[in-house]
């Protein structure tokens, strides 16, 4: 069922003098500001999310200091049933890629290209497991574009498109301000918007903030109780919208700003969405219960 495809995208040159002003296909002339000596990615949050803000679907990105990224898109349609899959349909995509180094055009705006994009599976192909149909999909929010804009906090909403502003306001909750209160990435072709957020592991937002992006080891779990390890497994499931029946566990995750429970979503559907890190980390943690 699985295949791989790689999309190589030509990079824009440093001589590019136009910037995305109000939406796809609308460009104005501008003057390139010299890029910083250090990568701007070192200054921004490593995590970005594109979603409606209600938890039904999401595309999550983790961007490294060199512009490379990993990500996952997931969406569940419990009502999308048929012969052999009475329990609904899950659309998902695990992917990776790389952005070029952002070029600064003004105080709150950088331009970059999508240099590489690789996805797991062949879009449209599907399989059925435990009464659920799983469909390989595109990386929603990333696909369809080759040029992207990175905005920093302070960018006026009047200087971005209405579509992009809607996505950012929906995801970030900044409905009352006239400017961005967060970092955000805009797909120039589609005006889809990813909102940046900090890992708040030190503020008790996560047990293992990077369990979806790196392998855990014995050093990570040293000194942690079995209860904490079990909660760390729950945390991996919670990222995919698992609804918890135990009151104390449900209350714990309800207190997390990133948690969006999805009613009716099964564990089989969640496991199908796991990337390789999540699968390995669940297995690893389970050995210590």
Which residues, listed in sequence order, are joined to residue 193 by a DSSP beta bridge? 186
> Residue 132 has what pLDDT?
84
Q: Is 19 left (phi over 0), alpha (psi -120 to 50) or beta?
A: beta
Q: Which residues of the chain have pLDDT under 70?
A: 1-38, 52-56, 172-175, 198-204
> Residue 111 has what pLDDT?
95
> Residue 47 has what pLDDT?
85
**Count of C-beta atoms within a 10 Å radius of residue 193:** 29
> Residue 29 has what pLDDT?
37
pLDDT tens by residue, 119-158: 988 999 999 887 888 899 999 999 999 999 999 999 999 9
> Residue 167 is encoded by which pair of tokens?
């996505």
> Residue 175 has what pLDDT?
64
Task: Name the architecture of domain 207-286.
Answer: Up-down Bundle (1.20)
d(CA 67, CA 11): 13
**Hey, where are the domains in the chain?**
4-197, 207-286
pLDDT tens by residue, 20-55: 434 433 333 344 444 445 678 888 888 898 886 555
> Residue 212 has what pLDDT?
83
> Residue 257 has what pLDDT?
75
Q: Are the C-beta atoms of residues 231 and 207 closer than 8 Å to each other?
A: yes
**Residue tagged 């497991």 (tokens):** 129
> Residue 22 has what pLDDT?
40
> Residue 143 has what pLDDT?
93
d(CA 166, CA 172): 10
> Treating both helix axes as pointing N-terminal to C-terminal, what angle do 276-286 and 226-238 enclose, rounded to 10 degrees?
160
Q: How far is CA 1 from CA 6, 10, 135, 246, 275, in A?
A: 17, 30, 10, 36, 16
């Amino acid at each position: 069922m699985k295949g791989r495809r790689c999309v190589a995208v030509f990079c824009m040159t440093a001589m590019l003098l136009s910037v995305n002003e109000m939406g796809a296909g609308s460009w104005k002339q501008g003057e390139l500001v010299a890029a910083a000596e250090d990568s701007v990615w070192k200054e921004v949050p490593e995590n970005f999310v594109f979603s409606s803000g209600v938890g039904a679907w999401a595309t999550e990105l983790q961007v490294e200091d060199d512009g490379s990224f990993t990500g996952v898109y997931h969406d569940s349609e419990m009502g999308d049933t048929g012969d052999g899959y009475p329990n609904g349909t899950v659309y998902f995509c695990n992917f990776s890629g790389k952005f070029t180094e952002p070029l600064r055009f003004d105080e709150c705006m950088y331009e970059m290209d999508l240099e590489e994009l690789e996805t797991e599976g062949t879009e449209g192909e599907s399989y059925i497991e435990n009464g659920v149909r799983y469909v390989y999909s595109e990386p929603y929010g990333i696909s369809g574009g080759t040029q992207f804009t990175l905005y920093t906090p302070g960018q006026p909403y009047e200087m971005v498109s209405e579509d992009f502003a809607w996505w950012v306001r929906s995801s970030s909750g900044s409905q009352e301000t006239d400017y961005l209160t967060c970092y955000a990435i805009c797909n120039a072709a589609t005006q889809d918007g990813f909102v940046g957020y900090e890992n708040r592991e030190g503020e008790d937002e996560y047990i293992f903030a990077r369990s979806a992006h790196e392998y855990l080891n014995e050093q990570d779990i040293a000194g942690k109780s079995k209860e904490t390890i079990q909660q760390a497994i729950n945390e991996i499931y919670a990222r995919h919208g698992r609804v918890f029946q135990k009151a104390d566990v449900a209350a714990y995750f309800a207190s997390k700003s990133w948690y969006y429970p999805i009613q009716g979503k099964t564990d089989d559907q969640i496991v199908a969405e796991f990337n390789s890190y999540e699968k390995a980390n669940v297995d690893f943690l389970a050995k210590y219960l």
